Amino acid sequence: MLAKIRNILARPTATKSPSVPAGERVYAIGDVHGRIDLLENLIQAIEADDAGRRKAHTTVVMLGDLIDRGHDSAAVVARAREWSKHREVEFIQGNHEEMLLVSRKKTESLRGFLKFGGIETIQSYGVDAETIAAADFEELQRLMNEAIPQDDFDFIDSFKKMVRIGDYLFVHAGIRPSTPIEHQLGQDCRWIREPFLSHKGDFGAFVIHGHTITEEPDVCANRIGIDTGAFVHGTLTAIGLEGTDRWFLQTNDRGQQETLEASAAA
């Protein structure tokens, strides 16, 4: 059954509301994790939402972790690449993309990649489960490198550390509170949880991120997390931004459809 669309209004909640530049609109998409079905439905929802609003320069930001855990990472990568030919899309590298890229040459990294959903990614590129189970790490590394096209590796390797648009900073996991934005390390941007999640102060920009799963968007006074567990909970979330307005679009595989208003914790 096709996932239904949820529209959730999000209320800006800072003393000075962050905004995107005049004439621009941004949609950011949380962690897809191989759920091509949810991504396809969310793309349709974004396209319809964008078409129903006033004309603007629209940018889509994918916050990383397109791959692993879900059943069809290969299709997600292909769809994302195809969409970017027709729509301005910025891609941010997540920790799962990093693990894949490092695993190409380091078998010790491949072990971790397989533990956190890499087996499903390799299967999605046509290597069957029996072959994977029978292979040692060196053989499986060879099979993976042969199965995944070089164009896909190059595409994933091109993903950015972060993207800034107006007052918003888009990043996969978060940033280190004590470090200026221009000096943030890629490792933190892709992996951090604490002290980022518990920080109550100003980051130097309002942060939109994924990586840490919550059942609903995690709306705070200085950040919003939109990894709602596409693989775990069956919900994929995007946030829309225009001026100081915010709204959410969601697809899920539970057949739900509702409109809610969200406010941030102080």
Superfamily the domain 4-94+160-262 falls into: Metallo-dependent phosphatases (3.60.21.10)
Segment 151-197, tens digit of pLDDT:
999 999 999 999 999 999 999 999 999 999 999 999 999 999 999 99
Q: What are the extents of the domains in the chain? A: 4-94+160-262, 95-158
At 264 the pLDDT is: 43
β-strand pairing of 24-29 with 235-242: antiparallel
Q: What is the pTM of this model?
A: 0.94
Report the distance separating Cα 230 and Cα 39, nearest Å: 9
Q: What is the DSSP string of 181-201?
A: GGG--HHHHHH--TTTTT--S
SS (H, E, C) 217-244: CEEECCEEECCCCCCCCCEEEEEEEECC
- Section 95-101 average pLDDT: 98
Owner of token pair 């969601």:
250
Q: Which residues pair with 22 in a beta bridge?
A: none
At 256 the pLDDT is: 55
